[in-house]
């Protein structure tokens, strides 16, 4: 962000920008967006949403933090290596279809059931959620990885 501002003529964009309004709002909105992204992800099988949209929104939420603060602060807030997240996402996405061999069914056969949980009531369990989780993690982490990387690169 700083670099972009400098380029467009804001010479005063110094090491740490202190935009209190933006930063405070970002924190709040981040919470809302990330909750919404989880909601989209879990609700995906029955109502609009899913792993891809959820992942993108999660990435968007973190990008908001990145814009409001800077890369260092973001890494302090979210101390995760995105490459690791991509790997685990791909593991989920590839591993779950493979697991169906254990049930003696062809590759990529989903299993589903539903259970009764006291507070939540009837909850559906579907193995597609785990596959979708893989999509979610990969999409979110890849988008973030690219944007953080391009953002930090000095010309």
For binding to another protein (CB under 8 A), which residues are involved? 1, 3-4, 6-8, 40, 44-53, 56-57, 59-60, 63, 67, 83, 86, 89-90, 93-94, 97, 101-102, 104-108, 110, 112, 124, 126, 128, 131-132, 134-135, 138-139, 141-143, 145-147, 149-151, 153, 155
Q: Return the sign of the alpha-carbon dihedral for residues 150, 151, 154, 155.
A: positive
**Between 30 and 50, CB nearer to another protein:** 50
Q: Reduce the secondary structure of 99-155 to three states and give it as a string.
A: HHHHHCCCCCCCCEEEEEECCCEEEEEECHHHHHHHHHHHHHHHHHHHHHHHHHCCC
Among residues 44 and 69, whose Cβ is nearest to another protein?
44
- Taking the least distance from each CB to another protein, the nearer of 16 and 111 is 111
**Nearest distance in Å: CB 28, another protein:** 17
Distance CA 140, CA 133 (A): 10
């Amino acid at each position: 962000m700083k670099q972009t501002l400098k380029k467009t003529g804001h010479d005063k964009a110094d090491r740490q920008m202190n935009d209190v309004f933006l930063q405070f709002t970002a924190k709040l909105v981040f919470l809302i967006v990330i909750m919404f992204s989880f909601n989209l992800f879990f609700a995906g099988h029955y109502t609009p949403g899913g792993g891809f949209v959820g992942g993108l929104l999660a990435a968007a939420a973190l990008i908001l933090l990145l814009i409001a603060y800077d890369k260092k602060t973001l890494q302090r807030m979210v101390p995760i290596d995105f490459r690791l997240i991509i790997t685990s996402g791909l593991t989920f996405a590839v591993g779950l279809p493979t697991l169906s061999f254990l049930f003696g069914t062809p590759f990529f056969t989903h299993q589903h059931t539903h259970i009764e949980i006291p507070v939540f009531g009837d909850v559906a369990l579907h193995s597609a959620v785990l596959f979708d989780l893989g999509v979610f993690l990969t999409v979110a982490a890849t988008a973030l990885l690219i944007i953080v990387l391009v953002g930090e690169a000095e010309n």
